[in-house]
Chains A and B, each alone.
Chain A
Amino acid sequence: MLLRHTTKEVKEREGLTINPAKTCQPIGAMYAALGVHGCLPHSHGSQGCCSYHRSTLTRHYKEPVMAATSSFTEGASVFGGQANLLAAIETIFSVYDPDIIAVHSTCLSETIGDDLQQITRKARDDGKIPEGKHVIFASTPSFIGSHVTGYANMVAGIADQFAVSTGSKKNQINIIAGWMEPSDMREIKRLSKELGVNIVLFPDTSDVLDAPQTGTHVFYPKGGTTVAELQSTGDSLSSLALGSISAEPAAIALEKKCKVPFETLDMPIGLRATDRFIMALSKAGNVTVPDEITADRGRLVDVIADMEQYLYGKRVALFGDPDQIIPLTEFLLDLNMKPVHIVSGTPGQRFEKQMRQILDERSPETKFKNGIGADMFLLHQWMKNEPVDLLIGNTYGKYMARDEDVPFIRFGFPILDRIGHSYFPSVGYSGGLRLVEKILTAILDRQDRDALEEKFELVM
């Protein structure tokens, strides 16, 4: 038993988090900044933060993740980090020559009260930012929210600090990506093209964190939303924010600064969330949905209908980030499956509200919890009390899956032990198809493994 100390009895905890279903803000800010072309993320704190975030993102993507740090020492912690950040900006522009430095704070620099706006302004006043280059920032204290909050804050910072309203509208729609994989961003762009809608997608980590092997390390890969594109978002007709937690703050920032109206949607994971996305985008772009997309949708529905007997009533436990597991829960219900336990470490009332909307009618007995205390230890205890047929979550779930002998699907962040998430999308109808295939494979493999010899099926 790997998690041999996990008790069946659930006791309320107030001080101790065990096996968290979240991590801290700065890693989300780092990931978001990698989705801007020519941008070097910069961690304003101790070296360890930057090292841990780079390591975790690298393990998840198996790709280079470049980022710099203010390398705080005890002196900087006492006297403030301004000197370190100014020195860092100078060093970075001369050695690594990015177009943009995206600075995010840490619990250390937030606790001592470093003001990133003031320091970056000073850097500009002191002539440390070369002509045509940019330093942007986001406040991402680790003691508030989660990695998802950090992502949202950096994306909002990107929107707020780049968008310009010139007074003449451009025939384009902003799509603000919630925390999703490079493959998902690529799929969003493909779908928009197929629909015939001009979009600016940001951030965009495709062609950054799924870069090809060419024999050369390209420090700033060809992907990422460009500064020109980001500046133009202020003139777009409207914005679609894909994810109420991770994308909406940027849409609000754009509305505030440039009066770009927005609509917030779920991340298009599963059938109905994708339907809503296609409807919203076709409406925003004033286009009709082409037959190819309708056919893609039909293929997904076809598979669900064909294989419904294996999906029906299967009990699922899932954990992960709110913008992903909200539409995933809806999709599981559409597959006629039964999500029974759900946890997400990210705090916020939106989660509960949206989950209620999805679950109240169709599965009111589903247990779900988010924020403080919503950790994997609790989820595991729930699983011990009310067993499930399938577990869905990030790689850390494999310990529970093994102990409880439950089929397991890797979904979310981080995935440290398998590949695929950067290359094959989970969004859109094709992403839905991939999810159904994964679910069926897990369930059917289990049935094959456990079947009595005389019940071992050839055709399924």
Chain B
Amino acid sequence: MEANTHFPDPSQVREELIQRYPTKVAKKRAKSIIVNDPQIIPEVQANVRTVPGIITQRGCSYAGCKGVVLGPTRDIVNIVHGPIGCSFYAWMTRRNQTRPESLEDANFIPYCFSTDMQEENIVFGGEKKLKQAIQEAYDLFHPKSIAIFSTCPVGLIGDDVHAASREMKEKLGDCNVFGFSCEGYRGVSQSAGHHIANNGVFKHMVGRDNTPSEGKFKLNLLGEYNIGGDAFEIERIFEKAGLTLISSFSGNSTVKQLENSHMADLNVIQCHRSINYMGDMMETKYGIPWMKVSFVGAESSAKSLRKIAEYFGDEELKAKVEAVIAEEMPKVKAIIDEILPRTKGKTAMLFVGGSRAHHYQDLFTELGMTTVAAGYEFAHRDDYEGREVLPNIKIDADSKNIEELKVVADPELYNPRKTEAELEALKEKGLEINGYEGMMKQMTKKSLVVDDLSHYESEKLIEIYKPDIFCAGIKEKYVVQKMGVPLKQLHSYDYGGPYTGFEGAVNFYKDIDRMVNNPVWKLIKAPWEKAGNGAALEATYVTQ
């Protein structure tokens, strides 16, 4: 891609971002602030500890495990073992929508469950209270599954949530109870929690139900959490194209779907960071290949559909996919033609998540806008540089603490969906199987890539670049807007969405158009504050 000549000198920007830090901090941060070159991808320091005292966007392992991965499945009772706060803060705040089929179907998403640990539980141990809580949840709701999430003190006082879960599972008989050691201090961000969640779902859920399902083209959608209804839109498109969704991980999903997910013939991965472990483990154990897709952006959605059709290699499916694209695209095109003149040439910055900062760039490209700087909150080097760097990533002490499951082929259920030769043929057609090229190849030369952006750096970037829109989360929202720059939340979508698929793209175009062209940004200064206007002039008039 061509370099954008309007950029300020990025290496100078980098110096400016770090100059105020104490020497050691500056040295560390410098490795995470990189001037991009899509041809020769430079190394980005990522997934390392945040310096204490730095105002970071990051959260904790518990947030990644319970909040992100397990939260969206509607019929699990998720009990948070700990003091009340952790469960309270994760109570519906991620907007995982779900649509139970009938009033009789279970839906625990609007509920918040906690053992509400008190001082005596910290001193004398909380396992007894936890088991009591599991029993009470079972007696009240009779759920298919109960999941237990450990918060910080649980690991320190030595409560064994796994043993307690096993005991209760045995006692209850018809309820699958399992625990997660996702204490907030594990790892360096939410990312550790994603991995822990993947391990738990793989161990305790996937593969429990071998019922073969109907459908010719069966797939799972991994790393889609149905924020703002994103999964609903993808479901709509899949259905139209004749694709059978066995399970999503985990937006709008159920226990049964997850347990049956190994019966699918393809895993497509939307959010690489949070769920790639699952893709790899299911491939090893069951022989299901995975493929990176993105349904963020109309073009990307079309491309992803074509990739899926190519994978299944069925001419009828390919034709149907083309028909769907041909039907959907003109509606998208009509809107973009209307909006483009108002958004073209504007600039965006994206600092969010472990995947979104990459894929939302596609939507901005469709709007004719340039991404001048981007970075993730909790991603790893492979999300920036592509999976080919995986063998070179050093495993540090913080990553070592996260269990790496030893997965082998299942003696009965392993069934390679494609032969080696078929996979080779697909690769030759340009289909990347089990691969992801990362964010940086797609970004322009000399754009800035910053991992784990701090508050201080974000204010500096805004001062220097004056972007037309900044994308981040709720903690950044009003800080950035106070600076007169609209901020689009890409965790909660500012309570809008969906933004995936064709209809989602249209929603996004309209929202961005509205935000960057909102007249309110021109009303910030009072008339008397504007130069050459106001009180002074009027005073002259009065004295005349």
B185 lies within 8 A of A74 (CB): yes
- Nearest-neighbour CB distance to chain B for A393, whole angstroms, equals 14
A72 lies within 8 A of B118 (CB): no
Which residues of A have CB within 8 Å of B85? 23-27, 49, 52, 107, 142, 147
Check if A383 is an interface residue, CB within 8 A of chain B: no
Known pairs A14-B136, A73-B398; A52 contacts B89 (CB<8 A):
yes
- Nearest-neighbour CB distance to chain B for A345, whole angstroms, equals 7
Which residues of B have CB within 8 Å of A65? 475
Partner of A18, one of B59, B112, B189: B112
B114 lies within 8 A of A215 (CB): no
B108 lies within 8 A of A217 (CB): no
Considering only CB atoms, which chain B residue lies closest to A59 in the complex?
B474
Check if A106 is an interface residue, CB within 8 A of chain B: yes
Check if A62 is an interface residue, CB within 8 A of chain B: yes
B482 lies within 8 A of A211 (CB): yes
21 contacts between A and B (CB under 8 A): A16-B115, A17-B113, A19-B111, A20-B112, A46-B60, A46-B152, A47-B50, A47-B59, A55-B89, A58-B474, A66-B455, A68-B55, A71-B52, A74-B186, A87-B51, A91-B21, A94-B20, A95-B25, A95-B54, A106-B152, A143-B121
Of all A-B residue pairs in the complex, the 6 with the closest CB atoms, nearest first, are A48-B60, A24-B85, A15-B132, A91-B53, A88-B53, A15-B133
Complex-state Cα separation, A22 to B79, whole angstroms: 17
B59, B82, B151, B484: residue with the most chain A Cβ atoms closer than 10 Å: B59
B140 lies within 8 A of A47 (CB): no
Check if A3 is an interface residue, CB within 8 A of chain B: yes
Known pairs A20-B84, A58-B475; A15 contacts B89 (CB<8 A):
no
B401 lies within 8 A of A48 (CB): no
Complex-state Cα separation, A143 to B134, whole angstroms: 20
Chain A residues 6 to 45 lying within 8 A of chain B, measured CB to CB, are: 7, 11, 13-20, 22-27, 42, 45
Chain B residues 77 to 129 lying within 8 A of chain A, measured CB to CB, are: 79, 82-91, 93, 103, 106-108, 110-119, 121-122, 129
Check if B531 is an interface residue, CB within 8 A of chain A: no
Which residues of B have CB within 8 Å of A95? 20-21, 25, 53-54, 454, 456
- Nearest-neighbour CB distance to chain B for A219, whole angstroms, equals 8
Which residues of A have CB within 8 Å of B185? 46, 72-74, 76-77, 108
A87 lies within 8 A of B53 (CB): yes
Known pairs A15-B132, A55-B93, A215-B483; A63 contacts B478 (CB<8 A):
yes
Considering only CB atoms, which chain A residue lies closest to B520 in the complex?
A213
Considering only CB atoms, which chain A residue lies closest to B137 in the complex?
A16
Which residues of A have CB within 8 Å of B62? 48
Which residues of B have CB within 8 Å of A24? 83-86, 88
Which residues of A have CB within 8 Å of B474? 55, 58-59
B475 lies within 8 A of A23 (CB): no
Check if B58 is an interface residue, CB within 8 A of chain A: yes
Check if A452 is an interface residue, CB within 8 A of chain B: no
Which residues of B have CB within 8 Å of A215? 482-484, 524-525
0/1 interface trace, chain B 374-414, chain A, CB 8 Å (1 if under): 00000000000000000000000110010000000000000
Check if A264 is an interface residue, CB within 8 A of chain B: no
Chain B residues 448 to 501 lying within 8 A of chain A, measured CB to CB, are: 454-456, 459, 473-475, 477-484
B116 lies within 8 A of A372 (CB): yes
Considering only CB atoms, which chain A residue lies closest to B56 in the complex?
A47
Number of residue pairs across A and B with beta carbons under 8 Å? 264
Check if B131 is an interface residue, CB within 8 A of chain A: yes
A84 lies within 8 A of B52 (CB): yes
B136 lies within 8 A of A141 (CB): no
Partner of A345, one of B22, B84, B118, B135: B84
Partner of B483, one of A75, A76, A211, A217: A217
Partner of A96, one of B90, B117, B155, B456: B456
Check if B271 is an interface residue, CB within 8 A of chain A: no
Which residues of A have CB within 8 Å of B478? 58, 62-64
Partner of B63, one of A48, A53, A217: A48
- Nearest-neighbour CB distance to chain A for B354, whole angstroms, equals 15
Chain B residues 213 to 236 lying within 8 A of chain A, measured CB to CB, are: none
A143 lies within 8 A of B89 (CB): no
Partner of A214, one of B93, B186, B524: B524
0/1 interface trace, chain A 198-225, chain B, CB 8 Å (1 if under): 0000000000000101111110000000
Check if B49 is an interface residue, CB within 8 A of chain A: yes
B156 lies within 8 A of A85 (CB): no
Considering only CB atoms, which chain A residue lies closest to B100 in the complex?
A4
Which residues of A have CB within 8 Å of B116? 17, 20, 372
Check if B289 is an interface residue, CB within 8 A of chain A: no
B152 lies within 8 A of A5 (CB): no
B110 lies within 8 A of A22 (CB): no
Check if B153 is an interface residue, CB within 8 A of chain A: yes
- Nearest-neighbour CB distance to chain B for A250, whole angstroms, equals 22
Complex-state Cα separation, A59 to B22, whole angstroms: 32
